[in-house]
Structure 1
């Protein structure tokens, strides 16, 4: 089965309206590419489009898809992960424009137990670079999530 044949809802632990990606379109052992179209359905939509800083969340969700695909192949459900921060996030636009089809790519730099780092970028469908960044994540063991969320 290809990742493009799996509904995004089966790959990430998000619920509407916070599912911002439309679909996963490609994956490899160390990367994923997802797609979305900027529409009024996006909860961050403004008349000009979606502000560029939301690109960090697009990237984080692409990383969630990467991890979700690994779990899906093992017949496990997606699990919660945390965005620890971003380094060198650079946007080359003020807004992602209405109607734009975006490709969000995340490439694994390293993954050591529960900590991961990914180089990410956002391109238009025709290849114009709109944003880049390095995203750092924390993906705890499923059994530890409740403990972290409860503050224990």
Structure 2
């Protein structure tokens, strides 16, 4: 396990944090776990999670990876953005309540501008999901967001 609490790794708060723990991380990958809990912000009435929430779980795993890297370097955790996904494939329509999930993300590309691509996998009892996620972590997220708010929109 890693030495930092999830709340110090993710720019999320409260029940929006879907991960339970980060088991391992290194320069290129991360292994995390989560449990499908009823009553969460994405839960269906029966306590299950729709399969599309797998993308959010994968994105939070990547965010935890970035948070671990920042903490290991003594830097603050910065906000990042999910730009999209390619080929999200899931073997079920929903993740049953109580299911233990294992999430893996492997960095396959990252450039100096903050653009990155991760190969992600989610596994649970009798099901799996996989996708390639495209993410962006600007060098200074606060400044980036301030500039975006100042820019006129059509």
Fold agreement, TM-score > 0.5: yes
Following TM superposition, by how much is the alpha carbon of 1:86 offset from its aligned partner in structure 2, in angstroms?
A: 0.0
Residues 148 and 87 of structure 1, relative CA distance in 2, 3 Å threshold: farther
Matches within 5 A, 1:22-37: 22-37=20-35
Q: Quick one: distance in 2 between partners of 1:48 and 1:35?
A: 18
Q: Cα offset for 1:129?
A: 4.7
| Aligned residues of 2:38 and 2:47 also touching (Cα < 8 A) | no
Q: How does 1:45-56 map to 2 (within 5 A)?
A: 45-46=43-44, 47=46, 49-56=48-55
Give the CA RMSD over aligned residues. 1.6
Structure 2: give runs of 5+ residues left out of the alignment.
none
- The alignment partner of 2:143 has SS state of helix
**Runs (4+) of structure 1 moved beyond 4 Å?**
none
Alpha-carbon offset, residue 13 of structure 1? 0.8
Rg comparison, structure with higher value: 2
TM-score (norm 2): 0.89
1:91 alignment partner in structure 2: 90
Equivalent pair of 2:19/2:60 in contact (CA under 8 Å): yes
Other-structure match for 1:132: 130
Count of residues in Structure 1 that have an aligned counterpart in Structure 2: 148
Pairing 1:82–2:81 present? yes
Unaligned segments of structure 1, at least 5 residues: none
